């Protein structure tokens, strides 16, 4: 990776020091504050609830998936792939030999095939099988969690507390599989890590905003910091002169026109109490309320939009700054998209920042002067 990557150092810390505590059952109430951990009959000893036992096991799987990602982070190529699939295999062996549980048989079979492919397949085929393994299992875990959970816990029923806990944890495991696939499949490793950690933000936002759960606040802050650092290291510090010019001539100029013709007028009229039907702020977010304070904020936003648009159109703003602020702006937009009060119209209207971010990323990645 060349010079020291602070994003990578934080990534390793997150997936080791930050994740290891989840091996302790006492950490589970931190993630699921309302979980009932034990059943205590009037006679006889207390026993763990099914959801608590399930959480213990699947937290271990999450730690294994985190170590899979650590292996890919530390070692590029075949060595990292072997370490990644080896950690996943050892996790399954532990559950069979120590816990007396049977992991989903299809996953065990695919793990063995992937391990053999990495060891024996020629050329890039081992990596391709690994990427398929990660993507396929992530898809199954996300779309059919009941089947996966019942392979290990046959008595589990859909809609039960155990199912809700298991589905939540399977989403985290699926996320790590997707992140691992992205890193393995992307030729430029630093770009791959930037993409992977950006994908992590989507599940993090869902769990924190919608599920009202998720990792402790320090890990949430660390996740956002890692994403920001990876994009600064790749998409800001490494922006070449050709890409700088391409950003100015393409997305920055078009963005300035969009601000001047659409967003600046919209926020100005909203600031004086005029809200247009279908496209007004009340139509894009059900929680919107017009009052004196929001009027002031909207007027301030109008001023800043006009100022930023002028700097973009005249070229006073650098292409690097345009890329950088859109990286962070996209995180804010995605965060808002997950709010329950955000309407479909709102998501559509505020999709342009994501489009401009993708455009900038394409220019930075391809170094295409015509992009």
Q: Give 69-122 pLDDT, tens digit per residue.
A: 999 999 888 999 999 999 989 999 998 998 888 888 888 999 999 999 999 988
- Check pLDDT > 70 for residue 222: yes
pLDDT for 1: 43
Work out the pLDDT band at 208, boundaries 50, 70, 90.
confident
Residue 41 to residue 24: CA distance in whole angstroms? 25
pLDDT for 105: 86
Strand partners, 47: 39
In the chain, what is the straight-line distance between the N-terminal and C-terminal CA atoms, in Å?
A: 26
DSSP class of 16: T
Residues 6+ apart with CB under 8 A from 176: 62, 65, 66, 68, 69
Average pLDDT over residues 325-345: 83
Residue 49 to residue 32: CA distance in whole angstroms? 13
pLDDT for 371: 45
- Check pLDDT > 80 for residue 6: yes
CA separation (Å) from 265 to 38, 200, 261, 306, 329?
A: 58, 35, 7, 10, 20
Share the mean pLDDT of the chain.
87
Q: What is the pLDDT of residues 141-192, one digit of tens each?
A: 988 899 989 888 888 888 888 899 999 999 999 999 999 999 999 888 888 8
- Do residues 60 and 23 touch, judged by C-beta distance below 8 A? yes
Q: What is the pLDDT of residues 267-319, one digit of tens each?
A: 999 999 998 888 889 888 999 999 999 999 999 999 999 999 999 999 999 88
Q: What is the DSSP string of 308-356?
A: HHHHHHHT-S-HHHHHHHHHHHHHHHHHHHTSTTB-HHHHHHT-HHHHH
């Amino acid at each position: 990776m060349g010079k020291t990557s602070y994003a990578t150092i934080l990534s390793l810390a997150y997936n080791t020091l930050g994740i290891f505590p989840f091996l302790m059952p006492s950490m589970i109430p931190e993630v699921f504050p309302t979980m009932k951990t034990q059943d205590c009959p009037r006679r006889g000893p207390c026993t763990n609830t099914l959801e608590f036992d399930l959480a213990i096991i699947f937290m271990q799987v999450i730690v294994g998936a985190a170590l899979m990602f650590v292996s890919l982070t530390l070692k590029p190529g075949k060595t990292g792939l072997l370490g990644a699939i080896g950690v996943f295999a050892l996790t399954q062996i532990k559950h069979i030999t120590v816990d007396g549980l049977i992991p989903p048989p299809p996953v065990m079979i695919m793990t063995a095939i992937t391990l053999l492919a990495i060891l024996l397949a020629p050329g890039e085929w081992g990596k391709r099988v690994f990427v398929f393994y990660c993507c396929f299992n992530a898809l199954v875990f996300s779309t059919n969690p009941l089947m996966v959970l019942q392979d290990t816990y046959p008595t589990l029923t859909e809609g039960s507390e155990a199912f809700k806990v298991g589905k939540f944890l399977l989403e985290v495991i699926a996320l790590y599989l997707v992140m691992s696939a992205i890193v393995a499949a992307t030729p430029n490793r630093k770009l791959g890590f930037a993409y992977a950690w950006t994908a992590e933000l989507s599940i993090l936002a869902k769990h924190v905003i919608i599920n009202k759960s998720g990792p402790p606040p320090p890990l949430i802050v660390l996740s956002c910091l890692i994403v920001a650092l990876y994009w600064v290291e790749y998409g800001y510090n490494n922006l070449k002169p050709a890409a700088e010019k391409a950003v100015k001539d393409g997305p920055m100029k078009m963005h300035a026109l969009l601000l001047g013709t659409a967003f600046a007028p919209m926020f100005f009229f909203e600031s004086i109490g005029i809200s247009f039907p279908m496209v007004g702020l009340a139509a894009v977010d059900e929680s919107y309320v017009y009052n004196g304070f929001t009027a002031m904020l909207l007027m301030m936003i109008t001023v800043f939009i006009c100022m930023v648009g002028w700097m973009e159109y005249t070229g006073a703003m650098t292409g690097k700054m345009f890329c950088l602020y859109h990286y962070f702006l996209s995180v804010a937009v995605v965060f808002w998209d997950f709010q329950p009060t955000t309407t479909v119209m709102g998501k559509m209207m505020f999709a342009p920042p994501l489009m401009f971010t993708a455009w900038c990323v394409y220019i930075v990645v391809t170094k295409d002067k015509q992009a």
